[in-house]
Amino acid sequence: MGKSDTFDFDYVIIGSGFGGSVSALRLSEKGYTVAVLEKGKRWQKQDFPKTNWNTRKYLWLPQLGCYGYQMLTFLKHVLVMQTDENHLRLEYRPRWWRLGGFSLNSTVPPGQNRAPAYIPIANEVTRRLAEKMDGIPLSFIGEALFNASSTAHILGGCCMGPTPDKGVVGINGEVFGYPNLFVADGSVVPANLGVNPSLTITALSEFIMSQRPAR
């Protein structure tokens, strides 16, 4: 985005994840002016690297003088994903342990069972990996002490549906009752996929943006 004193845009994209980046690209290709809101400094056109080989502008490694937007993190964890016919309810309300402060927490709705935190095959694979890598197999403390499963991919919340009583957004990604407000990210996915959802989010964002007319 170039320097502007007016802040007059056709679309404002909140977040530059898989959904946000795809939406911004496709809308700009159709002739719209687009602003992307993300944490950090405001990027000018000359700040973006023209190639990944420009590591100073591409990678985020301040120790080496690189102040780009791509941060690489090497994980030492074993991630096991499972599919389960289940769902959770997220509640944002005051909590006693926050001394009246608000907190977003999950609860198990009536008629649903808690997702299992102990997966025998996952533990067995982790033990074998630890033996080969001379490591120590450990479980997440919440799983071991409270039998609470964890996830890195919280999906849903603004699911697609044909009518307002069956979804938050329509097939075009527009929020029912709020014209020109679109959702094109993981929250339109109705359930956990059991695999990394990045490609599904990208495909859904492409589908939603394909329905926007050219300017």
156 and 138 within one domain? no
Same domain, 7 and 27: yes
Q: Which domain holds residue 107?
A: 89-146
Q: Looking at 153, 202, 206, 207, which residue is catalytic?
A: 153
Same domain membership, residue 142 and residue 156: no
pLDDT of residue 5: 60
Give which of 154, 155, 85, 150 is closest to 122, Cα–Cα.
150
pLDDT < 50: residue spans in the chain: 1-2
Same domain, 139 and 160: no
Asked which of 103, 130, 146 is the last residue of a domain, the reply is: 146
Q: Is 77 part of the annotated catalytic residue set?
A: no
Distant-in-sequence, close-in-space partners of 25: CB < 8 Å, separation ≥ 6: none
Number of domains in the chain: 2
pLDDT one-digit tens code per residue, 25-80: 999 999 999 999 988 777 888 888 989 899 999 898 888 899 888 888 777 777 77
Rounded distance between C-alpha atoms, residue 147 and residue 118, angstroms:
7
Are residues 156 and 212 located together in one domain of the fold? yes
Instruction: Tell me whether residue 54 is in a domain.
Output: no
Q: What is the CATH number of the domain that holds 20?
A: 3.50.50.60
Question: Among 128, 146, 164, which residue terminates a domain?
Answer: 146
In a domain, 84, yes or no: no
Instruction: Tell me, yes or no, whether 82 lies in a domain.
Output: no
pLDDT (0 to 100) of residue 115: 79
Place of tokens 């007319």: 213
pLDDT at 131: 92
Do 215 and 158 reside in the same domain of the chain? yes
pLDDT of residue 124: 92
Same domain assignment for residues 120 and 139: yes
Q: What pLDDT, on the 0 to 100 scale, is given for residue 77? A: 76
